[in-house]
Each structure stands twice: as structure tokens, then as C-alpha cells.
Amino acid sequence: MEPHADAGIRDWLATLRPQAPRRKAAAFDTRAQGPALLTGRASKGITALLHEAGFEIVAEPESFKVTTEPRLGPGEIERARLWEESLIAKAAGI
């Protein structure tokens, strides 16, 4: 970890306590193009931690690919927008 880095998502999730009613959540990550086995996929672990913290998981974990710059790869912004729209619809009960 870099000396100036803030606490990470796992540290933050460890501070959460179950809420009633359960809050809804979904997780995503950004990663390099390639098999998740080689590039990693943080969203799966984050989803598990959210579930353990008492959140209702409303979507499968999602990964958006980045280039070497780093920036989102071709088509990923549109894919992210569509994922966002599906989350909004699920949260609204549509």
C-alpha cells in the first residue's frame, strides 16, 4: 500500500453494521483485458463482503476493462451506463 493511500474498500466494509431494512448494493471493478484468473476481479470479493455486512445484493459483480493508459476500454462506458440503468431499475422495483 502506498504511504499516502487512504483505507481501502475492505477496511471500509469492515466498519459496516447490518441495517434494517437491508440496504441494496452492487459491486464493480476495473481490470485489464484478459482472463479474470490472471487479471484479478475485485468485484467478486467486494460482493461477498457486502453480503456479509448485511447488504442485499441486487446484481452480479461486474468488471469493466481498462486500457494501459489507464482509461476505460472501447465500449466500456456504454456498458457501464447500461449496467447503471439496470441497477436503477432494480432499486426502483421495475
- CATH code (residue 52): 3.40.50.360
Residue 63 CB neighbours (<10 A): 20
Phi-psi category of residue 40: left, alpha or beta, with phi > 0 → left and psi -120 to 50 → alpha: left
- Write the pLDDT tens digit of every residue in 30-65: 998 888 877 878 999 999 989 988 899 999 999 999
Identify whether 83 is part of a domain: yes
pLDDT at 1: 47
Residue 1 lies in a domain: no
Domain assignment present for 26: yes
pLDDT band at 69 (very low <50, low <70, confident <90, very high): confident
The one-letter amino acid at 13: L
Q: Distance (Å, rounded) from C-alpha 72 to C-alpha 83?
A: 15
Element (H, E) at 31: strand 28-32
Task: State mean pLDDT over 7-24.
Answer: 79
Number of domains in the chain: 1
Domain encompassing residue 80: 9-92
User: Is 13 within the bounds of a domain?
Assistant: yes
Domain membership of residue 3 (yes or no) is no
Q: Is the residue at 36 inside a domain?
A: yes
Contact 59, 88 (CB under 8 A): no
pLDDT mean across residues, the chain: 85
Copy the grid coordinates of residue 26: 452492487
Please answer whether residues 64 and 26 qualify as being in contact, where contact means their C-beta atoms are separated by less than 8 angstroms.
Answer: no
